[in-house]
Amino acid sequence: MRPARRMATMPQSGTLRMLDVAKRLEREGRDIIHMEVGEPDFDTPEHIKRAAEEALARGVTKYTPSAGTPELREAIAEHLTTKGIPAAPKEVLVTPGAKHAIFCAMAAALDPSDEVLIPSPCWTYEGIALTAGAKPTYIEMTQADEFRLKVGDVQEKLTQRTRMLVLNYPNNPTGATMTKDDLSALADLAADHELWVLSDEIYDCLVYDGKHASIASLPGMHERTIYINGFSKAYAMTGWRLGYAAAPAELTAEMVKIQQASTSCPTSFVQAAGVAALRGPQDCVERMREEYHRRRDVIVEGLNSIDGFECVKPKGAFYAFPSIGGLEIKSLELCEYLLREAGVAAVPGSEFGPYGEGHVRFSYATSMEKIERALERIETAVARL
Ligand SMILES: Cc1ncc(COP(=O)(O)O)c(C=O)c1O
């Protein structure tokens, strides 16, 4: 017996692979500083945990409607409206994590062989697009442009089969953000070429310079934007698995069918916690953002002081993505070396699409003390290269 042919091109998550190796070394007694995984080191705020406990105590333990509970869909729609993103509750699909929202979106919006434009360096959209039967096409973003996507570069990759443009700002892995003007030009292009725009804004609460701009809020974009967000990063809820999509009602109805065919619905009491997250106090989000901001400044300055690294200041998210051009070593080799010699786990740029090589991603969603210790270890190890 053999697996499906499409599995031959299906990538593995490089981040999770590095995490596995780092965990194995830890089991062998090594002291590892984890900067590979994009997971907040903060605990989920107490009032959110309490809401889940109370829901469990009330017996909220059964299936919910496939698209999510009416309370949470309403809370999400209201939350988006305050951000200038028009969304009615019926246009919201609640999912077990933002990743599943992206899966539902691509599976519902794309036909086999449709092309999806993915700006790279990029997070793991490729595997999701391939599962949906679509064809990823990459657009290069460069450090010289602060990893912003330029409309001319998108234009060059358009073909008759292009159906979707993926945007992810603030970006994983680069931390880049886009201005409203940048996005307006892309919005015009999407309208001219009848493209879906899948806008993954899961880091929208983590912006350090300027203000987050969403393409979904621009005129004419409501009908073609599939907006993605979730609770993992803003509310430190990675393990709860809660995310959502907002899209035109007709597409949302199709995405609900994908959810019905895959997971039925998100976890009931987790959705109650989601309502508490959105309707409750938001100062927890701001406190975490301020701490990431402090850490960003320390890690960027630290990396730039190490010979061979050059790091532009990421404006958002919680990753530093320095160029390692000065070291004359492949990113995978450097990450293996840093793990072995310095006990620091990071992700090679080669894991972020065809244009990630020449960089390494360090997550600074870890304590300041660990960041400072990691920088010292990296400097010592790199000096011995
Ligand atoms: C850009 C981006 N989108 C989506 C996700 C998925 O988030 P979730 O935990 O909600 O599935 C991640 C997680 O790392 C991410 O970095």
- Residue 9: the pLDDT is 83
Residues 33 and 103 in one domain: no
Residues 294 and 197 in one domain: no
Using one digit for the tens of pLDDT, what is the confidence trace for 218-234? 999 999 999 999 999 99
- Residue 330: the pLDDT is 95
Average pLDDT for 339-354: 95
Domain that holds residue 296: 5-43+283-383
User: Which one, of 141, 116, 105, lies nearest residue 352 by Cα?
Assistant: 141
Tally of CB atoms within 10 A around 305: 11
**Domain count across the chain:** 2
Kindly state if the Cβ of 240 falls inside 6 Å of ligand 1. Answer: no
Kindly state if the Cβ of 173 falls inside 6 Å of ligand 1. Answer: no
End-of-domain residue from the set 262, 279, 296: 279
38 Cα nearest atom in ligand 1: 14
Residues 227 and 290 in one domain: no
Find the 38 Cα to ligand 1 centroid distance in Å.
8
Residues 326 and 189 in one domain: no
Q: Which phi and psi (to 5°) does residue 93 adopt?
A: -115, 120
Q: Does the residue 48 lie in any domain?
A: no
Residue 13 has pLDDT above 80, yes or no: no
Residue whose CA lies nearest to ligand 1 atom number 14: 38
Q: Tell me the CATH number at 221.
A: 3.40.640.10
Residues 116 and 203 in one domain: yes
Which structure tokens are listed for 177?
């953000």
Residues 272 and 318 in one domain: no
Under 8 Å CB-to-CB from 215, ≥6 apart: which residues? 167, 183, 186, 187, 197, 199, 221, 225
End-of-domain residue from the set 247, 264, 279: 279
pTM for the whole thing?
Answer: 0.96
Residue 336 has pLDDT above 80, yes or no: yes
- Residue 381: the pLDDT is 97
| Number of separate helices (H) and strands (E) present in the chain | 12, 12
Beta bridge partners of 36: none
Provide the sign of the torsion angle of the four alpha carbons 31, 383, 172, 275, taken in this order. Answer: positive
Find the 380 Cα to ligand 1 centroid distance in Å.
32
Find the 104 Cα to ligand 1 centroid distance in Å.
14
Find the 126 Cα to ligand 1 centroid distance in Å.
13
Using one digit for the tens of pLDDT, what is the confidence trace for 50-103? 999 999 999 999 999 999 999 999 999 999 999 999 999 999 999 999 999 999
Using one digit for the tens of pLDDT, what is the confidence trace for 248-306? 999 999 999 999 999 999 999 999 999 999 999 999 999 999 999 999 999 999 999 99
Q: Does the residue 55 lie in any domain?
A: no
Q: Are 185 and 151 spatial neighbours (Cβ–Cβ below 8 Å)?
A: yes
Residues 79 and 14 in one domain: no
Model confidence at 8, pLDDT cuts 50, 70, 90, reads confident
End-of-domain residue from the set 228, 253, 279: 279
Residues 198 and 106 in one domain: yes
